[in-house]
Amino acid sequence: MDPLKETVAYDDSAIRSLDWKEHIRLRPGMYIGKLGDGASHDDGIYVLLKEVIDNSIDEYVMGYGKTIEVTIQDRKVTVRDYGRGIPLGKVVECVSKINTGAKYDSKVFKKSVGLNGVGSKAVNALSSWFRIQSIREGKTHIAEFRKGELVHEEEIPCELRAGTIVSFIPDEEIFGKYHFLNEYIERQLWNYAYLNQGLTILYNGVKMQSKNGLVDLLEVNMEGEPLYPIIHIRDEDFECAFTHGTAHYGEEYYSFVNGQHTTQGGTHQQAFREAFVKTVREFFKKDYDTSDIRTGLIAAISIKIQEPVFESQTKTRLGSTLMADGGVSISKYVSDVLKKQLDDYLHMYPEAAEAMQRKILQSEKERKELAGIKKAARESAKKVSLHNKKLRDCRIHYNSNDPRKLESTLFITEGDSASGSITKSRDVNTQAVFSLKGKPLNCYGLSKKIVYENEEFNLLQAALDIEDGLENLRYNQIVLATDADVDGMHIRLLMLTFFLQFFPDLVRAGHLYILQTPLFRVRNKQKTIYCYSEEEKEQAITQLGKNPEITRFKGLGEISPDEFKHFIGPQMRLDPVILRKDQSINEVLAYYMGKNTMERQNFIIENLRYEADAIFVE
């Protein structure tokens, strides 16, 4: 008999049934996407927050409770709404029994986000501590859990205003040493405010409220001035706001379904794109090229449909094709609304129509001028054999259907030794490596023509597949992995300039990161500690005792592949590149890459002195 067949017994004892919390904790990715430590906007801790707030938003949408209070202190999250409160006899079931909730009854929650009955249960199971309190009819029911296990429950009289209070602490056993980034929280909460005019959100006491909805969203997020006033269209179940921007190369979308931010778009976004092109062609009676019509377009889209179907548990891409079961198609509905209202608007405001047409003609001219260059660039990419020389690709991509696609990562590194170490130690399923050859070109102030004429930029653009926008982006995380020295900082700035100059939407969407690698290794015969700062090094020396061996890493190439596995694995440390509301891309680029100023020189000198101290001083 084959000895391999004798190693595993397959009988009754091999079959195991997991209860609800065990399955969520064992397979968290099935419920909240990826885990992460909070460095990425789509990391699990933000999904937990979203799942709780979604329930409060649903109450507001149904007409109950105009204020939601969100408090985050250290790692404790509290969300308080003033809705109807969960029926007191069902509080425990609603947060600990899969497929339990009111949202299955479409009469109660007609156009809700959370229809799978999993959200609050996932938060409960993945929290080291979870507390829910429902207040209604002069009573309150309180339930407290530890890792999904009920540890306390009581129902007592209560004079507080009706509503629900949920508090939780994400479990370190699941998420590691995570941290909440304020920028991500604020963006998430502001989106709720933009989509729900009349709603007030208090975040750590700071008020968030929007008067003009999606128009406010565009005004805050636009770079530069609009070519014409933002066009705002509303219907019962559809709202959009859009314009062409002066500082936008591709298309940029903020799309939502029932209040859920669908970062990967879906059928509603595609319906808008197609309807916009069709309406514009019919108005101008010209068969303009699709790309010319949409180049520079920035739009916010919100649609409400019954029982939406998403392509993943984290609801980042809509898969539904109908507004409701047996109802009109999303494509036809959006097309009809846009055809009527946009056509009316362009007739009423000819100045806006003329500005739109000038932009289309300008894009057409630029496209034709670049056509020959693009063709030559594509041929050049093929000759260089992208996948063999510059890019060590991975098997799973961001635009695939694999559940691990959120983990897809491209490391951009410089030098054969550094790229070699990462290549040998990476996860070939989800991690790819792109090797730079020396310092890239400073592209500040140059036109997009340089992206095709410069071989390195052309190959990188092809590797990412972002020539026509982010729709086909092949990696969720683009990570700059450079040495922590003067040359490494310079390369990092040059690559940041490239992305901010030509692909700012990629940065705004939260896809660009900087890899942290350890500066020191401190070890004795029993233990090895990798340190990312002088402070961590001193702590490690204290922890390990007398005369530990201390190694300083001067470059990525010095770190062996076996060691690199620790730094690009589950505990990988990433610094996200975040554009704040008050930051203009042009101002940022001018400061770092424009003409020298004394202020900038002093800034760089101070930061390089810190880097030098950290690397070279014992």
DSSP letter (8 states) at residue 441: P
pLDDT at residue 616 in the model: 27
Q: Tell the burial category of 301 from Cβ atoms under 10 Å away from its Cβ (0-12, 13-18, 19+).
A: buried
**Residue 258 DSSP SS3:** coil
Residue 473: name the closest of 410, 538, 522 by CA: 410
DSSP letter (8 states) at residue 318: B
pLDDT at residue 615 in the model: 28
**How many angstroms separate the CA atoms of 496 and 386, rounded?**
22
Q: Which residues pair with 133 in a beta bridge?
A: 142, 165
**How many angstroms separate the CA atoms of 300 and 242, rounded?**
6
**How many angstroms separate the CA atoms of 403 and 545, rounded?**
44
**How many angstroms separate the CA atoms of 268 and 304, rounded?**
10
pLDDT at residue 400 in the model: 84
Angle between helices 330-348 and 350-384 (to 10 degrees): 130
Residue 465: name the closest of 452, 454, 474 by CA: 474
Boundaries of every domain in the chain: 21-208, 214-368, 385-517+553-616
The two tokens of residue 325 are 């079961």
Question: Taking a C-beta distance cutoff of 8 angstroms, is the pair 520, 552 a contact?
Answer: yes
pLDDT at residue 420 in the model: 84
Give the CB-side neighbour count of residue 448, counting CA atoms within 13 A: 20
Element (H, E) at 233: strand 231-234
Q: Which residues pair with 310 in a beta bridge?
A: 318
**How many angstroms separate the CA atoms of 194 and 525, rounded?**
57
How far out from the chain centre does Cα 72 lie?
20
pLDDT at residue 487 in the model: 80
Give the CB-side neighbour count of residue 615, counting CA atoms within 13 A: 17
**How many angstroms separate the CA atoms of 275 and 293, rounded?**
12
**What residues contact 530, with CB distance under 8 A and at least 6 apart?**
518, 520, 521, 522, 563, 566, 567
Q: Which amino acid is at 313?
A: Q
Q: Which amino acid is at 366?
A: E
Question: Taking a C-beta distance cutoff of 8 angstroms, is the pair 600, 590 a contact?
Answer: no
Write the pLDDT tens digit of every residue in 334-349: 999 999 999 999 999 9
Q: Which CATH class is domain 385-517+553-616?
A: alpha beta
**How many angstroms separate the CA atoms of 80 and 134, rounded?**
10
C-alpha distances (whole Å) from 12 to each of 3, 8, 9, 26, 252 are 21, 12, 9, 21, 54
DSSP letter (8 states) at residue 38: S
Residue 592: name the closest of 481, 496, 478 by CA: 496
Q: List per-block mean pLDDT (blocks of 10 residues) for the chain, which spans 618 residues.
A: 49 58 85 86 92 90 92 95 92 79 49 60 94 95 95 94 96 92 93 93 96 93 89 93 82 88 88 95 96 93 87 75 84 93 96 96 89 76 60 89 87 84 91 89 85 88 86 92 81 89 87 90 90 90 90 81 84 85 71 65 54 30
Superfamily of domain 21-208: Histidine kinase-like ATPase, C-terminal domain (3.30.565.10)
* Residue 135 phi, psi (nearest 5): -125, 120
Fold adopted by 214-368: Ribosomal Protein S5; domain 2 (3.30.230)
pLDDT, averaged across the chain: 84
**How many angstroms separate the CA atoms of 413 and 436, rounded?**
6
**What residues contact 383, with CB distance under 8 A and at least 6 apart?**
none
